[in-house]
Amino acid sequence: MTDATTTDVAITGDHDHEHSHGLDDKGYVKIALWLALITGAEVAWSYLPVWEDASGLTSFAEVAGLLVMMAIKFAVVAGFFMHLRFDNKLLTRLFYSGLVLAVVVYVIVLTTFEFWSS
């Protein structure tokens, strides 16, 4: 006889069953290598001398490129390493809305420094 707190695993006796939730080890290594490559591109991107204007400020293209690479890395990490790609779509949208909010706040702060400084 089972009570209301017994799980499906206890009822079926399938204790060794594991849900496949994500990629295999080889897939995770490939993603990690791509993330390392994008990180290297971000570092190289920020050191390119073409982005600075005469006043020494960085250009819009540099910041936009870095934000795009950052968003790609965030989406890959959240999607695969945090398993959001395999999760409920509502939770995925809620989490990715944090990315959009972070980018909007970051752009507002950058705009404030650019337009409101003397």
Query: Do 99 and 92 meet the contact criterion of CB atoms below 8 Å apart?
Result: no
pLDDT of residue 100: 87
Rounded distance, CA 118 to CA 113, Å?
9
pLDDT of residue 35: 96
pLDDT of residue 57: 61
Helices (H) and strands (E) in the chain, counts: 4, 0
- Structural domain contains residue 62: yes
Residue 114 predicted with pLDDT over 80: no
- Structural domain contains residue 8: no
Reading the block at residue 62, the tokens are 């540099």
Q: Could you read off the pLDDT of 58-113 as tens digits, one per residue?
A: 677 888 888 899 889 988 888 888 877 777 888 888 888 887 898 899 888 888 87
Q: Enumerate residues 6+ apart whose C-beta is below 8 A from 84.
A: 78, 91, 92, 95, 96
Q: Could you read off the pLDDT of 13-50 as tens digits, one per residue?
A: 444 444 556 688 899 999 999 999 999 999 999 888 77
- Structural domain contains residue 10: no
- Structural domain contains residue 84: yes
pLDDT of residue 52: 66
- Structural domain contains residue 100: yes
> What is the span of the domain harbouring residue 50?
22-116
What pTM was estimated for this model as a whole? Answer: 0.63
Please state the domain count of the chain.
1
- Structural domain contains residue 81: yes
pLDDT of residue 8: 47
